[in-house]
């Protein structure tokens, strides 16, 4: 990490783990602390991201798991080139709701993991990945309370498989993606405070265990 470059922070977790809420809270807190911050998400707002959202909500059907994996990887490289890398080059902090580990967990659980890893090898690693650890039942309760349309990976048995897949890839890629697990079952305030403290440790160059 050279001086003058920004920092890339990612939030990961199963559906209903709070990545979207906590990404917004982290962006707001870091801005309030005076950092220049870009909040973003994957699937991205770019053309491939729009296609992916259609597939996730089943407005677009008949996409195979392999094609979905290719689209997620393509969206990621597009997102990096169009938004993430330019912001980092300007020294900004980029916070993304989901990144590489989402593909390794969701796509890797249905396809050979090595192939999904290879598709994502060109995507720069995160400087910090906060994995929101939430049990499948709590996450399911939250998703039902939130309402809205059901998505491709929403069913509870699927989420149990996603959680197991995350367990594997979080361990395997802990070092590469600088993964720090965070207990995501607390109140939104408590989880936000823990996440902010981890992010601040990175941004101030302090090391925490």
The span of 13-21, 32-40, 124-132, 182-190 binding ligand TYD (CB under 6 A) equals 13-21
Cα-Cα-Cα-Cα dihedral sign, residues 175, 89, 119, 140: positive
Does the bond joining 43 to the residue before it have cis omega, within 30 degrees of 0?
yes
Number of Cα atoms under 13 Å in the Cβ half of residue 78: 16
State which residue has the least CB distance to ligand TYD: 106
Residues near ligand TYD (CB under 6 A), total: 14
The span of 28-36, 102-110, 179-187, 195-203 binding ligand TYD (CB under 6 A) equals 102-110
Task: Kindly state the DSSP code that residue 52 receives in the 8-state scheme.
Answer: H
Which of 22, 35, 42, 108 is the binder for ligand TYD (CB under 6 A)? 42
Between 19 and 129, CB nearer to ligand TYD: 19
Contact 44, 78 (CB under 8 A): yes
Between 7 and 98, CB nearer to ligand TYD: 98
Contact 69, 111 (CB under 8 A): yes
Distance CA 25, CA 199 (A): 12
Which of 151, 158, 181, 200 is the binder for ligand TYD (CB under 6 A)? 151
Residues of this chain that bind ligand TYD (CB under 6 A): 15, 19-20, 42-43, 56, 72, 98, 102-103, 106-107, 151, 153
């Amino acid at each position: 990490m050279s001086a003058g470059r920004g920092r890339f922070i990612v939030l990961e977790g199963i559906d209903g783990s709070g990545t979207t809420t906590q990404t917004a809270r982290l962006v707001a807190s870091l801005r309030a602390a005076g950092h220049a911050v870009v909040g973003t998400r994957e699937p991205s707002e770019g053309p491939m991201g729009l296609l992916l959202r259609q597939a996730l909500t089943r407005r677009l059907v008949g996409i195979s798991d392999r094609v979905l994996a290719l689209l997620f990887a393509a969206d990621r490289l597009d997102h990096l080139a169009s938004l993430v890398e330019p912001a980092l080059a300007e020294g900004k902090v980029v916070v993304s709701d989901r990144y590489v580990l989402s593909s390794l967990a969701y796509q890797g659980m249905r396809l050979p993991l090595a192939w999904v890893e290879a598709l994502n090898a060109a995507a720069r690693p995160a400087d910090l990945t906060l994995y929101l650890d939430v049990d499948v039942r709590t996450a399911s309760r939250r998703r039902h309370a939130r309402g809205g349309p059901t998505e491709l990976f929403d069913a509870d048995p699927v989420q149990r498989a996603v959680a197991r897949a995350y367990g594997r890839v979080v361990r395997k890629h802990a070092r590469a993606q600088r993964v720090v697990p965070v207990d995501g079952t607390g109140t939104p305030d408590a989880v936000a405070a823990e996440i902010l403290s981890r992010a601040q440790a990175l941004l101030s160059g302090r090391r925490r265990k």
